[in-house]
Structure 1
Amino acid sequence: MLAADGTIVVARWNDGAPETIAEFSGRDHLYGLVPGELTADGSGMWFGSYTGSDRMRLARLDLTTGVETEVDSHPELDLDALRRAVLQGVRQTESPLIRHRHTGELLGVRYLGERQVIHALDPHFADVLAKVEQLSDGDLEAISTDDTGTRWVVSFTHDRDPDRTWLYDHSTGASRLLFADDPRLDPAALAPMTPVTITARDGRALPSYLTLPVATEPTTLPLVLLVHGGPWYRDAWGFGPQTQLLANRGYAVLQVNFRGSVGYGNAHTQAAVGEFAGAMHDDLIDAVNWAVGRGLADPERIGIVGGSYGGYATLVAVSFTPDVFAAAVDYVGISDLVSFAKSVPPFVRRNLTNFWGRYVGDPDVPEQAADMAARSPIHRADRIRTPLLVVQGANDVRVVRAESDTIVAALRDRDVEVEYLVKDDEGHGFVNPQNQIDFHRATERFLARHLGGRTDAEPAPHRSHRNDLP
């Protein structure tokens, strides 16, 4: 349970009264104790811990004594738990723990850096893992087995060949492809996603991903900075439909795990405290400068696209650094940090203590509210001159429609070019397929007009080779 000050309390209930087993700092555990899975015998709980380390490791909490013991760790990588905790809110995803289907015993643990690394904790599974990883050069995602551990069904995430599922028989070594999620996709026509590390102005390493359009000379390209949401999330290697669409239309796509992103150690996440529209934004500008400095991007054709926090980052980009971007797409983004915080229903606010309260501020404290206002794009709308596409779900209860209405009205009053796409049957992120199509069609046409990329009416170049970074 969550205490009023954000402390994570693990408790048992005896006769209706909670008895504390252990307590953990909410500053370190934004999403509570994840993955928070009971051990096979029910006497303990596996969770990601930072005790004694900046990196998240796998620990076991004894539910009788409250004693924490380490189960497994990686010397350089975080347990891939926080990213998956976020994904569980939007789609089904695999646990960072690989467990035996019948016994529940722990077989393996997932870590994530540029790519996934799996530690096998069981000798039989270690042998199976070595075999199934030969089926694809992607990262292992879903995995399940029969009760005997003989037959396995596995799928892989991949940047250009997504979600192929295989059957593997460990007794014979035989395997066969069962299906692909979308066999219409041609891997040869898709763009590779390349891990790169960018150094921020203060020396912080920013793990990032660069996707270049196929069969195109990788110099002075139009570039789209694609900003992830959260901001307590992270971009990872794999198939990104929006990334591939943009690359197909001729854009270099840069995705940056700026400070505040999870999965790169506690210090990298907490470096974002008090840095909304500050160092978090500087990281994005440093990434643009990196791409321009390497000759990859045309400084006159830089665009920024983002949703949720990424939408806020987009509005910050055009209001705090109006000379950098030639086009911007804000998808369900925050324009006013104060009004956003006050629009959160009262019964939800405690859950945001470790997030918005700690990182951004409390709108009911005058000094903090003033700081939040200073970091809000709506109060710098008079500086915006970049063409802007704003996209909003009318039923969004997380980032309410007023956040978009207000910024659009302020720009229209000044005759700044702004397009506004509102869908009455959507909330925080479009789920209706036709609305998704409308959003992406509006985005590609808007970017083509201002950055010079292709639209769906123009033929795509044919891949003759994989692009290499200059």
Structure 2
Amino acid sequence: MTSSVSASVSTVRAFGPSLLTLASLALAATLSQNAIAAAAVKASVETPLIARSALFGNPVKSGAQLSPDGQWLSWMAPVNGVMNVWVAPADKPEAAKSITESKDRPIPGHFWSGNSQQVLFVKDNAGDENFHLYGVDIKTGAQRDYTPFDKVRVRPTGFSTRRVDEILVGINNRDPRWHDVHLLNLKTGELKLVMQADGYAGFQADNDLNLRLALRPNAAGGMDFFKVQDGKVEDKPYLSTNLENSSTSPLGFTHDGKTLYWMDSRESDTTAVIAEDVASGKRTVLAQDARADLGDTLRDPASGVVQAYAVEYLNSEWKFLDKALKADFDWLQKQLGKGEVYVASRTRNDDKWIVGIDPVSKVAATYLYDRKAKKLQALYVARPELQGAPLVDMHGVEIKARDGLILPSYLTLPKDADKNGDGKADKPVPMVLFVHGGPWARDGHGYNGYHQWLANRGYAVLAVNFRASTGFGKKFLNAGNKQWGLAMHNDLLDAVDWAVKQGVTTKDKVAIMGGSYGGYAALAGVAFTPTTFACAVDIVGPSNLETLLSTIPPYWEAGRKQMYSRMGDPTTEEGKAILRAASPLYKADQIVRPLLIGQGANDPRVKQAESDQIVQAMQAKKIPVTYVLYPDEGHGFNKPNNRIGFNAVAEAFLGQCLGGRVEPLGETVRQSTAQVVTGAEHVPGLEAAAKK
């Protein structure tokens, strides 16, 4: 359920252990304004306020790519306030022109066809995640919908450096549960069925677009892997995993089809990068790290051979198998300075790269790198409004849970609470526990707009990789099985205790906030431990795990068994009991702290009903709650006006609760599509700001 609140987006004036009436809550909001304003004036003398629009509005440019032949540059940039695709000759970036014209919803990203003649992108409708695949001919400007089907989600499946006019795509138009593989001709738009996918979670193709491997979920909660010969799936799997080793998966073939790379955890706790000789079956460990799972690799664009791999524990570290590639990275690091160097795109003959640097506390920049000439050309700074802004660093920390499990986490401190930037708090400040989605995902090190925003408002921000998070080995992942609301929740509580002991914050000044699973964690925080958190912000979080599992999208069918194994099986009485006990809905009557809920009406993962039902349960008990609904959003807020608008509401809400600085709501709510379903009176200024 990873959110785009990214994701994917996500305390003080505690209103006391007893339930406030609506009238007293409104009075508390009014009385708090003078204190909040005074605190904001005092803090602003030291640290300028960063505008929400600079953090959460559209970037000037983002997502640069090179065409495979190196002749073209492309990136995302706004057209009339909506993110679209722009293309320019590689030697004339200033001549860029928009080639798409989305008017209603941002295009999330794009990629190039192998023939360098089309730019491809996927786009849904109002957040419903029924993604269509589109292509634009860069010479004629003609746009084509390659998958013009209703209620269908396309899945790009295979690409080739040889069959450059074709790609493989999975389409679930025959059966919404399974993505049948089709060969798509990018020039004619013809779709030819290659293989029906009944029961198969996916397929692995080689560089000639031949299906070579089929994946099917098994009763053990893992996958069976079958070889595919001459278009037919073999009867027996040649490799199988169970729930414990479910992170094992193929990474792809070399272009000659002779080697298949794997991310494999069957023989170790963390995943290793494995090279399998297809002919002999011999498997060789290329890389492994006891601290973290591997899997992110850099591969030669001409041969598909793995050249480098990333280890991400507290920070991301690239390790090199190719000496020439290491020399490039060393040179780039020297030129670009402090921060993580990353490669976003490479030409087919590998002479040009798109590279970037993420210094976390400074504005990230993107460059065109000519490898032969050893020349860097600045392309853009994504958010120039943040140049010179008081951004702060993010610090990796290890937190020990009550059972001894080490939780890799990230702490961001306000400037006035960490004046020397060493990651040690100079004084306690209010804190927001910002919980990631998934839960089978992870927080990582790097620039994070939400951390910067909250720290600038005066809050410490703590992001915890609780058990069940991915990336830290199978023991860490599986320690979260059937622990929603139990050990997973305790990890968050233990992290709060750590922050209090470290002098980061005080026990009465902690809010909990997050999206998707993070939204669930926020609901669980105020329902299961009613007085631990001063307030909570839930963004697209489920309140009832039974109804969540009964309404998952049909194309999640392949993962259903694994979800049941990790959460609780709703087809059994035991499983139902586990799910019910972990559902905040059934303890909604215990909520005594302020709660803000944001929801997209078209969310296919966490349906609107998940928010509706807990709001209704609270209203039935006359418990205050603020609920903001967005009719044109899905699992998170992708439209910038909606993102800015909800964060403006959250900022006012947190300011009242924690006493941090607040940028006025202004027109942000009216400029969004927000519908304040209930509780506008509980957030300072929201009633007036929401009037259209």
Q: TM-score, normalised by structure 2?
A: 0.61
1:224–1:251 Cα contact (<8 Å) kept: yes
Instruction: Report the equivalent of 1:426.
Output: 633
- Note if 1:3 corresponds to 2:3: no
Distance 1:395 1:148, change over 3 A: closer
Residues 361 and 258 of structure 1: CA distance in aligned 2, closer, same or farther (over 3 Å): same
Residue number in structure 2 paired with 1:307: 515
In the alignment, structure 1 residue 23 sits paired with structure 2 residue 239: yes
**Closer, same or farther: CA 143–421 of 1 in aligned 2, 3 Å:** closer
Structure 1 segment 200-279 matched on structure 2, within 5 A: 200-216=401-417, 218-279=426-487
> Structure 1, residues 311-361: CA drift from partner, whole Å, max 9, x if none?
11111111111111111001111111111111224553332322x211111
Whether contact under 8 Å (1:308, 1:399) holds in the other structure is: yes
Matches within 5 A, 1:81-120: 81=295, 96-120=296-320
Deviation, 1:371, is 1.7
Match runs of 1:320-339 below 5 Å: 320-339=528-547
Query: Is structure 2 residue 262 aligned with structure 1 residue 55?
Result: no
Change (3 A) 1:50 1:4: closer
Gaps of 5+ in 2: 1-214, 419-425, 666-692
C-alpha distance after superposition, 1:369-390 (max 9, x if no partner): 0121011111111111110001
Comparing 359-368 and 185-194, the one that deviates more = 185-194
Query: Do residues 68 (structure 1) and 276 (structure 2) align?
Result: no
The correspondence of residues 432-451 of structure 1 with structure 2, limited to 5 A, is: 432-451=639-658
Q: What is the DSSP-based 3-state SS (H/G/I as helix, E as strand, rest coil) of the residue aligned with 1:300?
A: coil
Counterpart CA distance in 1 for 2:443 and 2:628 is 26
Say which structure, 1 or 2, has more relative contact order (CA 8 Å, 6+ apart): 2
Is 1:160 the counterpart of 2:361? The answer is yes
Is the 2:218–2:224 Cα contact (8 Å) retained in structure 1? no
Q: In the aligned structure 2, how far is the partner of 1:140 from the partner of 1:335?
A: 40
On the 8 A contact 1:7/1:23 being kept in 2, the answer is no
Q: State the alpha-carbon separation in 1 of the partners of residues 347 and 573 from structure 2.
A: 59
> 1:186 is matched by which residue type in structure 2?
Q
Q: Is the 8 A contact 1:21 1:64 kept in 2?
A: no
Greater mean deviation of Cα atoms: 359-368 or 342-351? 342-351
Tell me: CA distance 1:390–1:362, structure 2 relative to 1, closer, same or farther (3 Å).
same
Q: Which amino acid counterpart does residue 363 of structure 1 have in structure 2?
A: P
Relative to structure 2, which stretch is displaced further, 261-270 or 130-139?
130-139
Say if 2:437 and 2:514, in contact at 8 Å, map to a contact too: yes
Look up the match of 1:454: 661
**2: CA distance, partners of 1:414 / 1:264:** 42
> Aligned in 2, Cα 1:230/1:454: closer, same or farther, shift over 3 Å?
same
Bigger mean CA deviation after superposition, 198-207 or 123-132: 123-132
Would the aligned equivalents of 1:395 and 1:425 in 2 still touch at CA under 8 Å?
A: yes
Shift of 1:235: 0.4
Shift of 1:252: 0.5
Deviates more, 1:23-32 or 1:176-185: 23-32
In the alignment, what sits opposite 2:381? 180
Distance 1:423 1:271, change over 3 A: same
Kindly state the Cα deviation for residue 170 of structure 1 after the two structures are TM-superposed.
4.7
SS, match of residue 468 in structure 2: coil
SS in 2 for 1:229: coil
Q: 1:368 aligns with which of 566, 570, 575?
A: 575
- 8 Å CA contact 1:101–1:144 kept in 2: the answer is no
Deviations 1:365-418 (A, max 9, x none): 012101210111111111111100011111112111111111111112222221
The C-alpha deviation readout for 1:238-261, integer Å capped at 9, x for no partner, is 111111111111110000001111
User: Secondary structure at the residue paired with 2:527?
Assistant: helix
1:387 and 1:416 in contact (8 A); partners too? no
Match of residue 557 from structure 2: 349
**Higher gyration radius (CA):** 2
Q: Extract unaligned runs of 5+ from structure 1.
A: 82-95, 459-470
Equivalent AA in structure 1 for residue 397 of structure 2: V
- 1: CA distance, partners of 2:352 / 2:556: 44
Matching residue of 2:608: 401
Q: State whether residues 217 and 559 of structure 2, in contact with CA within 8 Å, keep that contact through their aligned partners in structure 1.
A: no
Does the residue aligned with 1:363 lie in a helix, a strand or coil?
coil
Shift of 1:276: 0.9
